[in-house]
Amino acid sequence: MTCDLLVIGAGIVGLAHAWAGAKRGWRVVVIERDAACIGASIRNFGFVTVTGQQRGAHWQRARRSRDLWAELAPQAGLRIEHAGLLVATRGEDGAEVLDAFLDTEMGEGCERLTVAQALQRQPGLRAEGLVGGLYSPHELRVESRDVIPRIAAWLAETHGVEFHFGESVLEVEAPHVRTSRASYRAERVAVCAGAELHGLFADRWTPHALSLCQLQMLRVRPPSGFRLNAALMADLSLVRYDGYAALPEAAPLLRRLSAERHDALAHGIHLIVVQSADGTLVVGDSHHYGPVLPPFACEAVDRLILDELHRQLALPSLEVVERWTGVYPVSAQAPCLIEAPDERTRLVMVTSGTGASTAFGLAEEVLAGW
């Protein structure tokens, strides 16, 4: 079997490369070892985040990816659950971070909110201690577990992309690729294997000192009728997302949170809340790192996440309806990595947990540089 582009991995990074290749008129084949995509690409918020991404190329990549999501959604029949982002701050030091952010190019199109404006934009936001906030119109929210298989189906139906699920790639010596079921000849090979660090081309990843990050997330049911008008983040996010955290103004906020919220910071917790079509809220998340991570969720960590939710939203009752963990690769060196072991092969890895936010822009870069 021959093709112009063979993509290894049917997560969001692999799908982004498949779409980019299909738009060029290439014959594209995607090979996925699992019977369906079950990894990090469906275990997340479905939150296409621009505001707060690392300044420079990665932020620009996120802006481009957001535009591509907006282009793809109506074509593939993807539902946008809601748009925009509200960042609530409960300290003057957090307000100074937001002001500094707005003074950068990354603040374009964003709006600084007073307490009254924040409460008006999001009814149910807890008023006690609120200092103000920031609103960004750039973000989109989709339901990952639905849109990932839908994108694959649309690529197959509309662009003729050929998917082979339940098939492991054993060897890549481009243009030849050998799997557990067949042999292929591909003009180009994009290896988008996600958190698989010890498989194909493991030697190419070794110099990057990669690790794994495990997160915990929950789905909760709020009182009937509660509506989230935009994704919600708060002060803990300002010391985690590089677009804010790298600003000098973030240092005083980090010092205060280290004293007041050391329990949350110790588990890498920062709050993101998004809403699904059925009214439930997806809430998270925590971050634990290591070369291998146990598959067990910690109830104490879930309680800390829910405590942070209650700090931000005045919800009289919540019912936890789902809990899960996810794992993605991380690097202290860069938010994404591209390796070229030969002229036909590219290894592509998002190493910052921002695949949904940046994969479409990243795939365009990879194909343009081939």
19-71 residue pLDDT tens: 999 999 999 999 999 999 999 999 999 999 999 999 999 999 999 999 999 99
DSSP element (H, E) containing 283: strand 281-284
Pairing of strands 111-113, 2-8: unpaired
For residue range 314-356, list pLDDT tens digits in order. 999 999 999 999 999 999 889 999 999 999 999 999 999 999 9
pLDDT, tens only, 140-188 = 999 999 999 999 999 999 999 999 999 999 999 999 999 999 999 999 9
Q: Which of 29, 345, 32 is nearest to 172 (CA)?
A: 345
User: What average pLDDT score do residues 99-128 get?
Assistant: 98
Predicted pLDDT of residue 327: 96
Answer for the pair 252, 96: CB distance below 8 angstroms, yes or no.
yes
Token pair in block for residue 145:
């577990």
Cβ contact 91:282 at 8 Å? no
Give me the DSSP letters along 134-169.
Answer: EEEEEEEE--HHHHHHHHHHHHHHHH--EEEES--E
How much is the pLDDT for 297?
A: 93
3-state secondary structure of 202: helix
Please report the pLDDT score of residue 283 as a whole number: 98
Rg (CA), the chain: 21
Cβ-Cβ contacts under 8 Å for 267 (sequence gap 6 or more): 286, 287, 288, 301, 304
How much is the average pLDDT of 127-142?
98
Element of type H or E holding 338: strand 336-342
Q: Cα–Cα distance between 123 and 104 in angstroms, integer? A: 29
What pLDDT is stored for residue 126 in this prediction?
97
Q: What is the mean pLDDT of the chain?
A: 97
| Tens of pLDDT, residues 215-250 | 999 999 999 999 999 999 999 999 999 999 999 999
Query: Residue 118: which pLDDT band, with cuts at 50, 70 and 90?
Result: very high
Look at residue 165 in the predicted model and tell me its pLDDT: 98
